Amino acid sequence: MHTFPLGSLSVHRIGFGAMQLPGRGVMGPPRDRAEAIAVLRRAVELGVDHIDTAQFYGPDVANDLIREALYPYPEGLVLVSKVGAFRDDKGGWLPGQRPDQLRSAVEDNLRSLDVERLGAVNLRLTDHPEAGADQQVPLEDQLAEMVALREEGKIAGVGISTADVAQVQQAIDQADIVCVQNAFSLVDQKDADVLELCRENGIAYVPYFPLGSAFPHMPKVTDNAAVRTVAERLGATPAQVGLAWLLAHRDNILLIPGTSRVAHLEQNMTVGDLTLSADDVAELETSV
């Protein structure tokens, strides 16, 4: 299956994540602006029709690059963003969980991308240790604001991120969500129950950390011995094998690998042509 529904829309299963386009720490201008623009344009040339971004990437940097590179946007391009956080002047990540903050963040994305409606917006839940009492908002109230934004035509679909099974089920019941963004990879399958719930309900599952945690001393798919063995046998990179396993694992998984380099983008986009045999999959899955 080369495509999967994102609500009423349909997208290719390999998209693009814009988080790596801004500078270090997802703050400030890109390392190479011309290369960042080239990455976005090449992604669309290669068939990407699903770009994941956020106004707080930069802030505004990722969205500004997307607009500069691709506006007026090609027909069928689905822009997906997320809300629930913002940045301080030093690049710190702060929670923005109140309904008024969610609304403001959606409108910031509309402004910076220069669109009237976003393909989907993920409500990114947070348990930030420094969150004040005003950030302890019932999920019911947050989802109600997201539904209101959808009814106003500002977003086509509601998604949720960093959510457990109970929260995802509530979001399905209350907001008829179209996607879930949670951490999931070959070496970290703790979210398997959420993935299965999404599959049962025809909801797209978009894993972040698809190659394992980005934090030091945490498991990495590319360090896994079986992944490296399979990659060598197939003439692929370990990262390509890790991404291909996700595509083979469940049909409702959508990938949004990110990069700031054209060559890396082109490597990622070939993953859809990489076929893992049943023996390959078994070898990978018995290694974790």
Active site residue: 57, 71, 73, 205, which one? 57
Identify which of 106, 103, 96 has the alpha carbon closest to the alpha carbon of residue 145: 103
Report whether 256 contacts 284 (CB < 8 A).
Answer: no
Q: State the amino acid at position 159 in one-letter form.
A: G
Q: Residue 189: which residues within 8 A CB-CB, separation 6 or more?
A: 288
Edge-to-edge strand order for the sheet containing 158-161?
Answer: 16-17, 50-52, 78-83, 120-124, 158-161, 179-181, 204-205
Helix (H) / strand (E) element for 204: namely strand 204-205
Q: Is 57 a catalytic residue?
A: yes
Q: Residue 216: which residues within 8 A CB-CB, separation 6 or more?
A: none
Strand-strand pairing, 120-124 and 85-87: unpaired
Taking the C-alpha atoms of residue 82 and residue 205, their distance in angstroms, rounded to an integer, is: 15
Report whether 271 contacts 243 (CB < 8 A).
Answer: yes
Take residue 15 and report the two structure tokens written for it.
Answer: 């998209």
Active site residues: 57
